[in-house]
Copies of this chain bind each other. A is one copy, B any other.
Amino acid sequence: MPTLPSDECLARLARARHGVLATVHERRGVDAVPVVFALSDRRLILPVDTVKPKATTALQRLANIDADPSACLLVDGWDEDWSRLWWVRASGRARRLDGDELAPAIAALATRYGPYRRPGAVVAALELSIDELRGWSAS
């Protein structure tokens, strides 16, 4: 099986512009939602923002993680030519950042995403500490 080595997994995570966050949902079992993120060491930083339209910043993903911190983030490369497919999955535990942790997290996100440079654009952030990295490439 053409698995990707750990450093290649991290490199592809670092380059990816968006991914899918999966968390545990009390009733539905699992949830999945697209996310943007920044990679810092082996930690993924995920924003709760006021940029993309939403009814509330009390997001379901926050409630899920408060109840069960298990989470994973998947990035993948889709192509109709299946010899070009690949994916990387980072699994671990997520938690809310608060207090002094928030400013550097927002700075890391603002470096990657222009809309986050506006003050107040990111109102909270999650950190996913990577315990397991798995990657696959078709060729």
Residues from chain B with a CB closer than 8 A to the CB of A87 are: 33-34
Q: How far is the CB of A49 from chain B (nearest CB, A)?
A: 9
B132 touches A28 (CB 8 A): yes
A18 at the interface (CB under 8 A from B): yes
| Closest Cβ neighbor of A82 among chain B residues | B52
Contacts of A117 in B (CB 8 A): none
Q: What residues of B have a CB within 8 angstroms of the CB of A55 in the complex?
A: 1
Interface pick from A38-46, A72-80, A98-106: A72-80
A20-B20, A78-B17, A82-B52 in contact; A30/B33 too (CB < 8 A)? no
A31-B1 in contact (CB<8A) = no
Q: Complex Cα distance A17/B56, Å? A: 30
**In the complex where A1-B55, A138-B52 touch, is A22 in contact with B18 (Cβ < 8 A)?**
no
A:1-38 near B, CB below 8 Å: 1-2, 17-18, 20, 22-24, 28-34
